Amino acid sequence: RERLRVLRLGPGTDVDAVYADAVAVDGDAGDERFYGRALALIEVGRAPEAVRILRDLVRRQPNVVEFHTGLGRALLAAGEADASREA
């Protein structure tokens, strides 16, 4: 939901505020929400931050394929093409 809100609001959207509001409302700051936040960060040009989040998610849950593909996407967006092949 939050990622779609960020996409709908467009460039310049404060991703951190959107996600903080959502956590304040329902108290859920689980891995799925971190994954969505990372994808939203990629969309607004903050790929290095997304890389940090996704690396942590992959470390904690190495069997979740979406986290690996998200990390590869973030690495590409951050200009780290060589590292993205290993994600």
Of residues 33 and 68, the one with the higher pLDDT is 68
- Residue 29 and residue 67: Cα distance in Å, rounded? 16
What pLDDT is stored for residue 85 in this prediction? 65
Average pLDDT of 48-76? Answer: 95
pTM of the full structure: 0.79
* Contact (CB, 8 A) for 49 and 41: yes
Within a 13 Å sphere around the CA of 86, how many CA atoms are in the beta-carbon half?
4
Q: CA nearest 15: which of 4, 24, 26, 25?
A: 4
